[in-house]
Amino acid sequence: MIVVLSGGVGGARFLQGVVQVVPQQQITVISNTGDDREFYGLHVSPDVDIVLYSLAGIVDAANGWGIRDDTYNTMQQLTRYGNEDWFLLGDRDLATHIHRTNLLRQGKTLSEVTDNLRIQLGLDLRVLPMSDQPIATHIQTPAGLLHFEEYLVKHRSADDVQDVVFVGASKAKPAPGVLDAIKQADAILIAPSNPIVSVGTILAVPGIHDALHEASGMVIAISPIVGGAPIKGPADKIMRGLGLEVSAIGVTRCYRDFLDVMIIDEQDAHLTREIEDLGIPVVVTDTIMRDDETKAALARTALQAAGLTI
Amino acid sequence: MIVVLSGGVGGARFLQGVVQVVPQQQITVISNTGDDREFYGLHVSPDVDIVLYSLAGIVDAANGWGIRDDTYNTMQQLTRYGNEDWFLLGDRDLATHIHRTNLLRQGKTLSEVTDNLRIQLGLDLRVLPMSDQPIATHIQTPAGLLHFEEYLVKHRSADDVQDVVFVGASKAKPAPGVLDAIKQADAILIAPSNPIVSVGTILAVPGIHDALHEASGMVIAISPIVGGAPIKGPADKIMRGLGLEVSAIGVTRCYRDFLDVMIIDEQDAHLTREIEDLGIPVVVTDTIMRDDETKAALARTALQAAGLTI
């Protein structure tokens, strides 16, 4: 059994590699839900949906999120009714949020709803939200506390980051199956996702950090920072705001309590010694996921680093 | 002030005439909400929306409901998630239901939500739901009790009608403003809507029947049955099921407690005497609403029958 801790676009692309080299029945994804937010009263789970859409082959590959060839007629009409329009939700994408909200209102948990969507989309792997309780990542900025999606999308990550707060995390519990999956995993892969607002959110759920520390399977992380910058997203601004070095070294520091191997890009090979000085062995490889082949190769490297023969 | 009691398509077309001859500020519509139903957890008010869309000039005129040139991508995806698909909701139309549901969940009443939509759509008349409490019209058939939309749309009105039940009506109250509008109206027009499941539902809200009986303004009805058949919808099957004659006479019997004048079509001129024998004066005119001109002419005839000079 393989566990993958995943955020949105980077995690989903990595998972597109993992499913090429491991049968889906052997994969459990633990997904960040700190970005979840209601729009128009509908529960949107951006990272869960990016993972589901990407693995179901319906993702808008150019954006990395949303459904391919979607239209925006519902939002256009919602805007006519005076609603905000800064978070783009396509018509097909909205079906996911309507369906999810409907099942949640009927009393189903976020785990159950996620599993329902996963089945309807024809996927055989397990996708677990990190928690069934609401956790809302907020960014402290000079302009005030912003919900992560407000910071990322509405403000286009323009504000200085002073702190990151996981509202609700201290009272949340890991979703059913999360701790067991980590405990029983032969390997735990931390996708090349934002170490603070994607993976860090998962680690903020009480019990998950300790479970990783005590896991018998090896914990392997892939750095999302390559050549001093993130492949996508505002990880650099957020890491810098928290006083972390924007590099594979900074990422390693986030995970060093429980990390067994750090995978870094060839461009960062010169950082190997410094990471190893933190007590973490390093694997250097091509981490840029350009196509199906490079995605599969990265997944294979991660699994081999965990000591698995595939 | 003019009050119009309205169902869906027939009522909306009549209102398109009324707004040509009376300033919108002087019109209050009391709309049937017995067809309201949740689809996918979203509150749909079919008759209210038909009226709003028709008067805002965005209705799909061929169907009589929905928004012109709408797409169906959200529903297609919802169907992929295992949801039922017998009630067509376009992408733009869904924005109305999402917006309404969101405001209702925030604690607004159906009246307040309807007024919000009315304003957003740029209309100056008042549109009042008959009640803020849920009332659900059901049709008793040999196959069991069916929600009206199930009977009408899913079953295509194929079942025999044994009875009509307004679930919730006895405990409902007229929405704020409904009784006052009737009391203060110079004329109350009953649109050519289904006398049982559109207007009858409005009359089933405690207090409305009595208010019409006591109204100082004249009450004028237009028969939706012409030449022994309804212009649209299953009024014939429903009237027959309840033992009513499917004719302008049967319609008159539904309203005779409070009706001042009955307007019937030229095709039904031979029924004049029999209706007058019920104690109700008759106006014979062309009631077929083919275009803007015939709609305006019918509205003008109704207002003149009420003794108003326009």
Which residues neighbour A291 within 8 Å (Cβ) at sequence distance 6 or greater? none
Does A120 touch chain B if contact means CB atoms closer than 8 Å?
yes
Q: Give residue A244's pLDDT.
A: 96
Strand partners for B163? B140
| CB of B216 less than 8 A from some CB of A | no
For A70, the token pair is: 């979607």
DSSP alpha helix (H) spans, A9-71: 9-21, 46-56
User: Sorting pLDDT into bands at 50, 70 and 90, what band is A310?
Assistant: confident
Taking CA atoms, what residue in A is nearest to B120? A81
**Polymer length in residues for chain A:** 310
Decide if A77 touches B, using CB distance below 8 A. Answer: yes
Q: A74–B67: do the CB atoms touch at under 8 Å?
A: no
Residue range A257-262: mean pLDDT, rounded: 98
Distance from CA of A267 to the nearest CA of B (A): 42
ipTM of the complex: 0.94
Find all residues with CB under 8 Å of A108, minimum gap 6, and list them. Answer: A116
Residues 176-195 of B with CB under 8 A from A: none
Please give the residue of chain A at the shortest CA–CA distance from B114: A81
Q: Would you state the structure tokens that stand for residue B182, as one six-digit string? A: 């009737």
Partners of residue A116 in chain B, C-beta under 8 Å:
81
> A90 CA to chain B: closest CA distance, Å?
8
CA B4/CA B197 separation, integer angstroms: 16
Q: Does the structure show a pLDDT above 90 at A309?
A: no
CB contact under 8 A, A78 and B71: no
> Chain A residues with CB inside 8 Å of B117's CB?
81
Closest residue to A95, CB basis, from B67, B81, B106: B81
Where do the domains of chain A lie, and which CATH numbers do they carry?
1-310 (3.40.50.10680)
* pLDDT, position A61: 93
**Residue B261: alpha-carbon gap to chain centroid:** 19
B77 Cβ under 8 Å from any chain A Cβ: yes
Say if residue B165 is exposed, middle or buried (CB neighbours under 10 Å; 0-12, 13-18, 19+): middle
Contact B135, B178 (CB under 8 A): no
* Interchain proximity B117–A81, CB inside 8 Å: yes
Share of chain A above pLDDT 90, in %: 99
* In chain B, % of residues over pLDDT 90: 99
For residue B97, give the chain A residue with the closest CA.
A78
A105 touches chain B (CB under 8 A): yes
Tell me whether B20 touches chain A (CB under 8 Å).
no
For Cα atoms A182, A187, A189, give the angle at the middle one, nearest 5 degrees.
85
B170 shares contact with chain A (CB less than 8 Å): no
Query: Does the CA dihedral B274-B278-B281-B282 come out positive or negative?
Result: negative
CA dist B270 and B273 (Å) reads 7
B71 touches chain A (CB under 8 A): yes
Candidates B91, B92, B96, B114: best to mutate against A (most CBs of A within 10 A) is B91
CA-wise closest residue to B41 among B101, B119, B109 = B101
| Cβ separation A71–B76 shorter than 8 A | no
pLDDT, average across residues A115-130: 98
Name the closest residue on chain B to residue A39, using Cα atoms: B102
B102 with A77: Cβ contact below 8 A: no
Q: How far apart are CA A11 and CA A235, in angstroms?
A: 14
Q: Which phi and psi angles does B67 have, rounded to 5°?
A: -105, 140
Alpha helices for B171-271 (secondary structure H): 178-184, 199-203, 208-214, 235-241, 248-255
Residues of A in contact with B99 (CB under 8 A): 40, 78, 81, 83
Residue pair A129/A45 in contact by the 8 Å Cβ criterion: yes
pLDDT at A54: 98
- In total, the C-beta contacts within 8 angstroms joining chain A to chain B are 98
Does residue B76 sit at the A interface (CB-CB below 8 Å)? Answer: yes
**Which residues fall within 8 angstroms of residue A243, CB to CB, at 6 or more apart?**
none
Segments of chain B scoring below 70 in pLDDT: none
Closest-approach residue (CA) in chain A for B118:
A81
Residues of A in Cβ contact (< 8 Å) with B73: 70-71, 73, 90-92, 95
Contact B201, B190 (CB under 8 A): no
- Tell me, rounded to whole angstroms, the distance of Cα B156 from its chain centroid: 19
Q: Does A108 touch chain B (CB under 8 A)?
A: no
* End-to-end C-alpha distance for chain A, whole angstroms: 12
Question: How close does chain B come to A101, measured CA to CA in Å?
Answer: 8
Interchain contact, B81 vs A42, CB within 8 Å:
no
